[in-house]
Amino acid sequence: MIDLKNQSKVIRYFAVPFLILSILILLNQWRISRPDTALETAREYLEEQFPGGRWELGKLAPVGEGLAKKWRMEFSSLQKDGRRIQANLLVDRWMPGRIVGKFIILFSPPQITDGERNRPTLAEQISSRISREGVFLIGILLLALQLLWLYRARRQGVFRRTDGILLAGLGGAVMVILMFLEIHPGLMIAYSLFFTFLGLAVGPPKGEGTNLEKES
């Protein structure tokens, strides 16, 4: 049984900040996993370039990993003069209002009307060099560090402000990794609730360091 009154310091400096971080990360995960805004961006761009056309979406797929995640879209349209046009677009998933690559072709006769190569940023280049397995391993190491730090706080019988800040930061880092790996939101919610419960359950027992120590 968790004594919430006795764990007020743990709640204030760990549970609340960690849950707030988790909610923000979950909202961002929901945002990058939905193509709605990216589709709106693509259709607005195509309407500006070729007004009056009716664009049909052929393919939509997520591509890339880490910070290099994008939506790949293939559109086709029939111009007023009867010519068919095809557009292949890449829309940034982290910033779905930004088109990072486009390649538009008119048929009969074939003609490239707008082409552009995707130029990844330095952050995208770095993140793309780390495999999913590597990111997963980093998450496991951070999770192990969390458990070791909780065990340390339990053994010492005192929960300091720095303990709460560190544990909340580590928990947030694991949530970010789960977001990078596109783990199901249900599992992310389960992790955040479990880690919060674990922090409260293994916090300093009643009468043993429930007050924060003054730090120099």
pLDDT tens-digit profile of 83-118? 788 999 999 999 898 898 888 888 767 777 777 767
- Please give the CATH architecture assigned to the domain spanning 36-119: Roll (3.10)
Q: Is 80 exceeded by the pLDDT of residue 206? A: no
Contact 7, 210 (CB under 8 A): yes
Helix (H, G, I), strand (E, B) or coil at 114: strand
What per-residue string of b and e applies to 131-167 under the rule 16 or more CB within 10 Å gives b? eeeebeeebeebbeebeeebeebbeeebbbeebbebb
Enclosing H/E stretch for 30: helix 16-33
pLDDT above 90 coverage of the chain, percent: 38
For the chain, what are the domain ranges? 8-33+125-201, 36-119
Lowest-pLDDT range, 14-18, 42-46, 55-59, 80-84? 80-84
pLDDT at 167: 92
Average per-residue pLDDT for the chain: 83
